[in-house]
Structure formats: C-alpha cells, structure tokens
C-alpha cells in the first residue's frame, strides 16, 4: 500500500478509535477559552481542531509534527501548524497551559528526555496529558478466552518493534514517569476493545501490519503466505482479538 494512503487510513482510524476518549480527558483537565495548548505529533489534526474550537478566538493551539502534510486540513485561525522534531528542536519554556501527545513517545529512543522537555514547556499549573499503547499487558489468550486469535503477524510486529527500539509497554510506565518528574494531581486510565471485523480498531491494526509488511517479511518473522492468511483471517465473521491497552495519563506542573 502507498505510504501516504496508509498514513491517511491510520490517522482516520486512530481518530475514530480514540478521539472521544482523548477529548473526555482533555475536557476533564478544564481546557477553556483563552488557553494556549500544544499538540505534539498532530497526525491528521483532529485533536488540534477540537482544541482550537475549545479554546476559542482568545486561545491558541500549536500543533507540530515531523511531517505536516496531513495537517493541511487544519484551517482554524487560532491553530498554528509547525514542522517540528520534538527530539531535537527547541520549545519555549513555561509557555503552555496544556500539552498533549498520543502515540508519539513509544517510537522515540529519547522518550524520557522528551518528557522532561515537555514538562519545561508547561506553565506552572499547566497540564501534561500523554496517551500511549501498552501491547504487553493483555495479549490474546485463546486458552483463557476461547475464540481470541493470536495472529503470527502480530507477534512478528512485536519482534520488529523490539528491533527498532519501540517501547511496547511505555503506556503502562507513564504514570511512574509522571510521578518521578514531580507532577501533581496525577491520574491514569487504560482502555481496550475487542477487535472485530469492520471496526475502526481492525482498520488500524490492518494498516499497521501493512505499514510493516516488507520489514517483517524481510526479517524472516513472518512469511508472505502467513501474512496474507492473517489478513484474510481478520475478515472472518468470527474473528476477535484484544486491542493493545491505550493508557491516558495526566498530571499538573506544580
């Protein structure tokens, strides 16, 4: 699949799967007119747009990504789109009432240093909200839960992630990281769903497999035949497998 089309599919599926939960957590942090917010790794721009509407004309939202092609649809006057690499490019200090990331930190080798950078960019009293997958804590278990399917391709993707330095359990570690940084009013919540044919979570999972198809096959972690069989299995009416846990973790700078 063309990488641009794949990214578009993944961003839409991420929004359909998780935006309502993200919006709830951000609203619970009190996002209000006049706030200055930072969205790191804006993807398709759905949360940046929601934030822009929430903070109103008196507020500002900065949304960043290393690839901003998919943020071109963000047209609100109070939302600024910036090409930015959070691992190397500077951020203003004590500038934001809220900083949010989703599905960014697990991919960064220097993820803990990035967290410290985000903390410094918060105003005193500002909120940091990070949401990351944990695919280690609740894998498919056909013995304990008859009918759940553990795909070989899913195992192959996990092996590839380990090779690439992806922290597949980082969502679960975030609460401890936030506590260690001295954030207060801490909270954490995890959400998972049962992936089934036709669901947004199934679309996201399939697109994730497609994105890594060549790398997984080249590494010998799955064969072409196994890969195609797994994709076909996902379309079967009785298919089900648990999604990774999505941890939402929040805390406030004292």
**Tens of pLDDT, residues 151-198:** 999 999 999 999 999 998 999 999 999 999 999 999 999 999 999 999
Q: What is the mean pLDDT of residues 85-107?
A: 96
**Tens of pLDDT, residues 77-90:** 999 999 999 999 99
Q: What is the mean pLDDT of residues 90-103?
A: 97
Question: Could you give phi then psi for residue 185, rounded to 5 degrees?
Answer: 50, 45
What does the mean pLDDT of the chain come to? 95
Alpha-carbon distances, residue 109 vs 13, 87, 88, 168, 224 (angstroms): 25, 9, 12, 12, 30
Alpha-carbon distances, residue 27 vs 31, 151, 165, 177, 190 (angstroms): 6, 36, 33, 23, 17
pTM for this prediction: 0.94
**Tens of pLDDT, residues 16-69:** 999 999 999 999 999 999 999 999 999 999 999 999 999 999 999 999 999 999
Number of domains in the chain: 1
Residue 94 domain boundaries: 3-252
Report pLDDT for 144. 83
Q: What is the mean pLDDT of residues 103-127?
A: 96
Instruction: Tell me if 39 sits within 8 A of 63, measured CB to CB.
Output: yes
**Tokens (6 digits) for 60:** 């500002």
Angle between helices 111-121 and 170-180 (to 10 degrees): 50
pLDDT higher than 90, residue 139: no
pLDDT higher than 90, residue 137: no
Strand partners, 132: 247
Domain harbouring 198, CATH code: 3.40.50.150
pLDDT higher than 90, residue 140: no
Residues of the chain with pLDDT > 90, as a percent, come to: 91
pLDDT higher than 80, residue 1: no
Question: Could you give phi then psi for residue 86, rounded to 5 degrees?
Answer: -65, -20
Report pLDDT for 92. 97
**Tens of pLDDT, residues 205-229:** 999 999 999 999 999 999 999 999 9
């Amino acid at each position: 699949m063309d990488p641009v089309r794949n990214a578009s599919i993944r961003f839409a599926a991420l929004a359909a799967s998780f935006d309502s939960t993200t919006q709830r957590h951000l609203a619970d942090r009190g996002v209000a007119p006049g706030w200055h917010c930072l969205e790191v790794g804006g993807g398709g721009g759905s949360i940046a747009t929601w934030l822009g509407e929430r903070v109103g004309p008196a507020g500002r939202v900065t949304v960043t990504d290393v690839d901003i092609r998919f943020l071109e649809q963000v047209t609100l006057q109070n939302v600024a789109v910036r090409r930015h690499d959070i691992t190397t490019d500077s951020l203003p200090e004590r500038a934001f009432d809220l900083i949010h990331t989703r599905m960014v930190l697990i991919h960064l080798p220097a993820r803990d240093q990035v967290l410290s950078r985000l903390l410094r960019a918060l105003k005193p009293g500002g909120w940091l909200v990070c949401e990351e997958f944990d695919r280690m804590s609740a894998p498919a278990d056909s013995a304990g839960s008859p009918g759940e399917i553990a795909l070989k391709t899913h195992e192959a993707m996990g092996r590839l992630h380990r090779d690439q330095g992806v922290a597949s359990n980082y969502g679960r570690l975030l609460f401890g990281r936030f506590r260690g940084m001295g954030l207060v009013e801490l909270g954490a919540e995890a959400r998972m769903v049962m992936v089934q044919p036709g669901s947004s979570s199934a679309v996201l999972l399939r697109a994730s497999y497609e994105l890594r198809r060549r790398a997984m096959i080249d590494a010998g972690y799955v064969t072409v035949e196994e890969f195609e069989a797994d994709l076909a299995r996902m379309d079967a009416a009785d298919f089900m497998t648990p999604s990774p846990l999505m941890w939402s973790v929040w805390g406030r700078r004292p």
